[in-house]
Amino acid sequence: MYDFLHRRQRLVQIILALIMLPFAFFGINYYFSSGTGATTEIASIGGDKITLGEFQEALRNQQERLRRSMGASFDPSIMDNPEVRYSVLDDVIAQHLLQREARRDRLSVSDDQLRAFISDIPAFQENGKFSQSKYEQLLDMQNPRRTPVEFANEVRGQLVLAPLQDPIITGTIVARSNVERYLNLLEQQREVAVAAIDAESYLKEVKIDDAAVKDFYDKNQAAFQVPEEVKLDYVMLSPDTLGAQLAVDPAEVKKQYEANQNKYGKPEERQASHILIAVKPDASAADKAAAKKKAEDVAAEAKKAPDKFAELARKYSQDPGSAAQGGDLGFFSRDGSMVKPFEDAVFSMKPGEISGPVQTEFGYHIIKLGEIHPAKMQGFDEVKGQIEQDLKRARATAKFADAADQMQNLVYEQADSLEPVAKALNLKVQSTPLMSRAQVQALAQNNQKMVEAIFSADSLQAKRNTEAIEIAANTLMAARVTEYKPASPRPFDAVKAEIRRQLEQKAASERAQVAGRAKLADLQQGKDAGLAFGKPVTLRRNQPQPGIPAGALGAIFQVDASKLPAYAGAANDRGGYSLFRVQKVIAPPPPDAAKVTAFMGRVGDQVGRELASAYVASLRANADVKINEAALEGENEKGEKRVVPRRR
């Protein structure tokens, strides 16, 4: 959120990610696994083995992270991409390398340290204190199959590795002059005039004979086909479909509301401003004392003139995220988004009061409390519908693994109809009209594996059910083709005019671009190319403009501007060629100190991550890492069928 919160939040966010993955944390197919891959060695690091089961779990975790971040645009078939699989395996190998290094350095986290860290995570707290019941409830809600002990061991693993990575990632120093130069280049503007050579003007020179049109048709008949179509019967299984079949006692809904009233409403929020006198963690005692003295002086000045607090923040505060706004941090609740000493101080103050200095890991804060938005509770009638749905979803999620297993078996064992599985699980068999492959893909939520199963020979010719395939998080689909209409070629006479237009446009575009590159060479040699340039426009490096091809911006900002005018060129979106005359360079004003400081942090983080990657690469270079290519490629070739065997 703000710079002085960043370091503490980074590790907490990693830990919270462990509980935020839903039921599919291990993947639906994990529950169908026969266990045959659990001990197959897919890689080794010296004496350490990485099993196929461990790799598959990591692959499913990555799939769920992508699904959560990309939403509806996520295509699960991307997980079949060899590059993605190798990347996931590289991450698993990196974790093993770091664990080996942690063991070598005898790094450990005691039970007391682990307990203290988990207790301090806001998600597990009520009224600022750790709640064992909330801790267990949250873990069970997100992943019923994982116990608190298992979660604690996962947290311990992250904490053990933190001392190896965090000092590299967070301790990088970036030269201020380099960041200032980077900002100057990033924000530089160039005044550019544009001249375009249109492909249309060359059409009259292009002649495409009938033989060329027919030859193109003969060589590209697949492009001129009426696509294949299918009619389908299909069933879908998800916690929502199961939940719709469940009933919840109204008394239970009321009991849930009364036991968790603090969940149903908006918590109290407070607006605060602060002045930060920063202190580095490794500062000397003298530097810390000097910072404290300065903070005390600023606090005294602020308390004497409260109405000048914003002015003092702009003058003294070393928090780049808020100094320019007079120290304003906006409204926030008591949820751990602020470091604890800061949060405790804010929520013990009265409006208008100035407090401090308050010491945190970032330095000393002088705090002024602004408005208070009181907590607002929702009445039972407002939330009972949502509570009922939540209870249904929780119960449906608990039943889902068994129902999914049953569905998988029934669609295989009674493969000539979907009625048995629909009857057994109280599902509805839905039917479609004739659909193209693209329409089937939309129905299957862009799941390529489902599309391939529907258009497989087993489905099209034998009319057998597909297997039950996870097309989205906790959503299984099985389908059966009831009618198939193969693709058929369009007659030559129906498409010859369309082909002729395509070939004419292509030839005209090629001529326009040849002419454009020749004129660019003339301009760069100081010759008159006979072009009429339009009215100049001002361009920024990272802000595309209408009429300027995205690929042209790089060329425009790469031309040597020491001697103007300078010229660049690029193919345009209309099939022609555009030429650009750079006639003025507009240097940005010097960046303000707060902006430079903020970018130093971002660049430092990026450099830190790259250094951390280099550190892992060095560990790998000195370790005996071997990858079982046959096991990896075999799993990749067969996909989830190795994890979801059909049962006979």
Of the listed ranges 49-63, 139-153, 538-552, the least confidently predicted one is: 139-153
- Kindly indicate the confidence band of residue 159, based on its pLDDT and cuts at 50, 70 and 90: confident
> Which bin fits 595, alpha (ψ -120 to 50), beta or left (φ > 0)?
alpha
Alpha-carbon gap, residue 113 to 110, rounded angstroms: 5
- Lowest-confidence range among 11-20, 137-146, 167-176, 301-310? 11-20
Distances (CA, A) of 28 to 8, 230, 626, 641: 34, 28, 30, 13
616 DSSP β-pair partners: none
**Overall average pLDDT of the 609-623 stretch:** 87
Mind giving me the DSSP string for 245-307?
Answer: T----HHHHHHHHHHTGGGSEE--EEEEEEEEEE--TT--HHHHHHHHHHHHHHHHHHHH-GG
Residue 222 CB contacts under 8 Å (≥ 6 apart), including other chains: none
Q: Is the pLDDT of residue 391 over 90?
A: no
Regarding predicted confidence, which is higher, 271 or 29?
271
Residue with tokens 């040597």: 560
pLDDT-based confidence at 23, cuts 50/70/90?
very low
For 401-415, what is the mean pLDDT? Answer: 89
- Bigger pLDDT: 160 or 456? 456
Structure confidence at residue 141 (pLDDT): 65
pLDDT at 27 over 60: no
Per-residue pLDDT, 145: 58
Taking residues 424-449, what's their average pLDDT? 91
How much is the average pLDDT of 160-166?
Answer: 78
Q: Does residue 38 carry a pLDDT above 70? A: no
Give me the pLDDT at residue 262, please: 64
CB 102 within 8 A of CB 164: yes
User: pLDDT, tens digit, for every residue of 242-264?
Assistant: 767 667 777 777 777 766 766 77
* pLDDT of the residue at 142: 61
User: In angstroms, rounded to a whole number, what is the distance separating the alpha carbons of residues 241 and 426?
Assistant: 9
Q: Are 19 and 33 in contact (CB under 8 A)?
A: no
Return the higher-pLDDT residue of 531 and 637.
Answer: 531
Torsion angle defined by CA atoms of residues 378, 382, 385 and 391, in that order, rounded to the nearest 10 degrees: 10
The predicted structure's pLDDT at residue 25: 31
pLDDT of residue 634: 55
Residue 645 has pLDDT above 50, yes or no: no
- Measuring CA to CA, which residue among 164, 159, 148, 166 is closest to residue 114? 159
86, 109, 173: which is closest to 627 by C-alpha?
86
Cβ neighbours of residue 67 closer than 8 Å, sequence gap 6 or more? 24, 74, 76, 472, 473
Cα dist from 629 to 296, 620, 632, whole Å:
64, 18, 5
pLDDT at 14: 56
The percent of residues in the chain predicted with pLDDT above 90, rounded, is: 33
Indicate whether 4 pLDDT > 60.
Answer: no
What is the pLDDT, as a whole number, of residue 264?
72
Q: Helix (H, G, I), strand (E, B), or coil: what is residue 479?
A: strand
State the Cα–Cα distance between residues 271 and 560, nearest whole angstrom. Answer: 50
CA distance readout (Å), 342 to 24, 185, 461, 611: 37, 38, 68, 32
Q: Does 16 score more than 60 pLDDT?
A: no
**pLDDT tens sequence across 479-490:** 999 999 998 888
Confidence of residue 550 (pLDDT cuts 50, 70, 90): confident
Q: Which pLDDT belongs to residue 483? A: 94
Q: What is the pLDDT of residue 370?
A: 92
What value does the mean pLDDT take over residues 402-409?
88
- Measured CA to CA, the distance from residue 561 to residue 583 in angstroms comes to 8
Res 632: pLDDT: 72
Lowest mean pLDDT among 13-22, 60-69, 466-475, 554-563: 13-22
How much is the pLDDT for 648? 24
Q: What is the pLDDT of residue 633?
A: 63
Using pLDDT thresholds of 50, 70 and 90, give the confidence band for residue 33. Answer: very low
Mean pLDDT of 172-181: 80
pLDDT at 239: 82
User: Among 3-17, 292-306, 541-555, 576-590, which is the least confidently predicted range?
Assistant: 3-17
pLDDT higher at 273 or 239 = 273
pLDDT confidence of residue 148: 76
Higher pLDDT, 11 or 383: 383
- Residue 34 clears pLDDT 50, i.e. is over it: no
- What pLDDT score does 636 carry? 38
Weakest mean pLDDT among 445-449, 499-503, 599-603, 613-617:
599-603
Q: What share of the chain is helix, strand, coil (3-state, %, to 5)?
A: 55, 20, 25
What mean pLDDT value characterizes the chain?
A: 81
